[in-house]
Structure 1
Amino acid sequence: MPDAGNQSLAERIELLFRTVHRPNGSSYSNEDVARACRESTGESFSATYLWQLRTGRRDNPTKRHLEALAAFFQVPASYFFDDTESPRIAEEVALLAAMRDAGVRDVALRAISLSPDGLGTVRDLIDAIARREADRRRSGS
């Protein structure tokens, strides 16, 4: 997960679009999110305006627009402007998105019954596999 504390508003919004999906796993469109934001605020909020925010062409939304985006993506509004809170919130969003993945959920449910030592072993295995996969990506294998 990228460090949201060092990201622009556009990058933070884009991270939400990449991470938060419909229950069936498909991505939300700009129109989907803009419509929901219009309905929640009663104010103008177009798909084009949202695209401009996502791409950094506009970077000064109103407080109500940020609150509407936060409500849609189910994050605190501080995610968009608090450099100390954003990384924590981004990690929580990524964790929730991962938990929607059936494979991750299955592993987590199986781990519930493990002892602390067993959980430590699972953590060590995951860390070792992640390091090996990162090494492979770096070497181009």
Structure 2
Amino acid sequence: MPESEPEAGASTLAAKLDRLFDVVRRPDREQYSHEEVARACREATGESFSATYVWQLRTGRRDNPTKRHLEALAQFFQVPPVYFFDDRQSARITEELALLGALRNAGVREVALRAVTLSPEGLGTISDMIEAIARREAGSR
């Protein structure tokens, strides 16, 4: 039976879970290990939940977890369970998580807090400067 193409913008469970690992970090900014996630999910559900299983879900080798497993993953990563089912909600939640992750960086937080008092024109100037610097740094890599 041929697999159907996902609709444009659709994201697999593996891709969504991988994004959570990329964006939601430990306090030391390191990624959570599969074992840390599995342990927390075991404790939350009381069911079998191994590091290998988390890895299989993350890499797409398994793609049909139980509702309780998805709820435990959502709880661990502090996202609503709808994150795994609705691509639009998933994209919105991912953007919010990325912003929160960026604000953990003291330098980013300081710039953001100082920018709050700027006029719209001042914000536009800062945005243009950041874009120019980002282009320059991307070109020097």
TM-score range, shorter chain: 0.7 to 0.9
Partner of 1:7: 11
Partner of 2:107: 103
1:84-103 alignment runs, 5 A limit: 84-103=88-107
**Residues in 1 aligned to 2:86 and 2:12: alpha-carbon distance in whole angstroms:** 11
Give structure 1 stretches of 5+ with no counterpart. none
After superposition, the C-alpha distances for 1:112-136 in whole angstroms (9 at most, x for unaligned) are: 22222211211222233334445x2
Name the % identity. Answer: 69
Number of matched pairs: 133
TM-score by length of 2: 0.85
Partner of 2:82: 78
| Aligned amino acid, residue 89 of structure 1 | I
SS at 1:85 equivalent: helix
| Aligned amino acid, residue 96 of structure 1 | L
SS at 1:6 equivalent: coil
1:19 and 2:46 matched:
no
Q: Which has the higher contact order (CA 8 A, sep 6+)?
A: 1
Give structure 2 stretches of 5+ with no counterpart. 1-8
Match among 115, 123, 130 for residue 127 of structure 2: 123
1:23-42 alignment runs, 5 A limit: 23-42=27-46
TM-score by length of 1: 0.85
